[in-house]
Amino acid sequence: MAVSLAGTRISAVALPWFVLVTTGSATQTGLVAFCEMAPYVVVKAFTGPLVDRIGPRAVSWTTDLASATAAAAVPLFHALDLLSFPLLLTLVALIGAARGPGDLAKEVMVPEAAERSRVALERAAGISGVTERLASTVGPAAGGALVAVLGPMPGLVVNAGCFALGSLIIGVAMPRGMGHAVDETPAQTGETEPGYWQRFGEGFTFLRGDPLLLTVIVMVGVTNLLDAGFSSVLVPVWARESGNGPAALGLLGSVMGAAAVAGSLIAALAAQRLPRRMVFFAGFLLAGAPRFLILASGAPMGAVLAVFAVSGFGAGFVNPVLSAVLFERVPRRMLGRVNALGDSLAWAGIPLGGLIAGAAVAAVGLTPVLLVGGAGYFLTTNLAGLRPEWREMDQVRGRGVAKPRSEETADGVRPTGTKLPT
């Protein structure tokens, strides 16, 4: 996870900057973000049953290899002076289409990793969050430095290398049986193995019948849309207009990531004692609107860094708490399909975030868009917290050390779940 995510974070600095400086268009920068994330969301939504069927290990290493190939083609065609804008959009779409199933497969393996290690699910979710935050710290710093010194193309080469290395690690080091579903086989039950669409429908039915999960998806979907526009368009435009340049992109991402690592570490160590609902919404309060407002204020770089550090610290608590709740609610045998649907619905706004932000900046300028985005973030997270479903977040707690498969519940499925991105 660390290797693949670090490469993705480097690309998240290098690719928008490349488009912005070569085209000068915030709209085209947002279009590139759309072409990566739209296939990511759509393909991820429909690969959940396949991950449950063939196992996440095989899906992970093959899709990472495909991502590496598509990512390496961008600097190659650029060096050959063959990289037109339509070709760039096509390659970016291929990267997104391969990344979706790859990220899903890695997330699905987290509960079994906890089980094999005899670690509480809440702590495992915290460790996974720390890994993600560390990648978010190292990646932007490396990406910003590479872009500032050598230009954006070396960052994309590193991204391709990270995908290839991640594929090698999963393919060689992971146990071959890792992550396979815990369903009884048709031979054991005497039943016909369910087909793809039946598996897909089971995941949709489960998700539709859980009010807490649906509320989470709606809220996170809105915040993800706002975050996508913020990171892919608003921050690069701010860096250019303020004169801080691409190095500021990496510095802001690294400061926020480092603070998020600290928050995630605390969440991992104290997860079982934390009041989930209070910590979750306090984290969102710090992580959301302040970032938009500080950039809109025209404050000096030191103040911006301080606010991003506070926001990162708050963000570090969000995913570990949310992941632990979700790991407890979704049956292991349905983990891939429910996680795929939930993630895809929560990420549905991400492809539109860059498009909307780019068009809005072109129409009214950067500062009004930042102010509206900050207000929208604040209202979304606070109004959602008033709904009664959130009380269930504190009612379901982990059971300490993750149980081995021989200690499943009476219906043959141990409660587990999946993470939604924030």
Whether pLDDT at 352 is above 90: no
State mean pLDDT over 187-207.
69
Is 190 among the domain residues?
Answer: no
The predicted pLDDT at position 130 comes to: 80
Is 186 among the domain residues?
Answer: no
Decide: 129 and 38 in contact? Cβ < 8 Å. Answer: no
pLDDT tens-place string over residues 119-166: 877 778 778 878 877 877 777 777 778 888 888 888 888 889 989 998
Ramachandran sector of residue 55 (left: φ over 0; alpha: ψ -120 to 50; beta: rest): left
CA dist 354 and 30 (Å) reads 4
Percent of the residues in the chain that have a pLDDT greater than 90, as a whole number: 16
CA dist 362 and 359 (Å) reads 5
The predicted pLDDT at position 386 comes to: 72
The residues that bridge with 331 in the sheet, in sequence order, are 415
Instruction: Give Cα separations from 158 to 40, 155, 172 (angstroms).
Output: 20, 5, 21
Is 207 among the domain residues?
Answer: yes
Whether pLDDT at 185 is above 50: no
Is 183 among the domain residues?
Answer: no
Is 123 among the domain residues?
Answer: yes
CATH of the domain at 332: 1.20.1250.20
Q: Any alpha helices (H) in 55-195, and if so which ranges?
A: 56-79, 85-108, 110-117, 121-150, 152-173, 186-189
Q: Residue 210: what are its φ and ψ, rounded to 5°?
A: -120, 100
End-to-end CA distance of the chain: 16
Whether pLDDT at 369 is above 90: yes
Is 185 among the domain residues?
Answer: no
CA dist 35 and 307 (Å) reads 31
When divided into structural domains, the chain yields a total of 1
Query: pTM of the predicted model, to two decimals?
Result: 0.66
State mean pLDDT over 204-230.
85
Is 188 among the domain residues?
Answer: no
Is 50 among the domain residues?
Answer: yes
**Domain span including residue 8:** 2-176+197-416
Whether pLDDT at 32 is above 60: yes
Place 13 in a pLDDT band, splitting at 50, 70 and 90. Answer: confident
Strands 330-331, 415-416: pairing kind: antiparallel
3 state DSSP class of 9: helix
By C-alpha distance, which of 133, 95, 106, 98 is closest to 6? 133
State mean pLDDT over 99-104.
86
